[in-house]
Amino acid sequence: MDTTPPTLAWRPTADRRTLVVALVDGALLSALVAGGMVSHGTDPLTAPLSTFEGIAPFLLAWVPLAVLAGAYAERVLSEPLEAARVVAVAWLAAANVALLLRGSPFFEGGMAWPFPLVIGGLGLVCLLTWRVGYAAFAPAN
């Protein structure tokens, strides 16, 4: 009889692989927001505070919601369909929370009505491409 206690399937792992995936997630989201700033005439390097204020709501929303959704669980890191399902749900939730944060008095900026569609869609494409590709081609632990 197996005496090993059961583990939760969504529990995030805390190894180097997970840390790398989390850092790339954050870098992709940061690059997406910074790229949007550039396309709207702001140079992120000459306006670092503005850049930070643009990126912060998305990282503040993504990190806890990705962990809660299980986006760093071993199964999500190694199975492409599971990665697609979990990352999509986590991003759609995080994007909505980030948009609420960005529209709050805690962050300057505001937004035009198509911004939620653009950031939601582009973020989804970027994260899904990266995470499904990683799950499909990265060596398993």
Structure tokens at 10: 């969504």
Q: Average pLDDT per run of 10 along the chain, which is 141 residues long?
A: 54 82 98 94 93 95 97 95 98 95 81 89 97 93 70
Q: Where are the domains of the chain?
A: 16-137
> pTM for this structure?
0.86
Q: For position 6, what pLDDT does the model report?
A: 52
Q: For position 87, what pLDDT does the model report?
A: 98
**Planar angle of CA 117, 51, 17, nearest 5 degrees:** 80
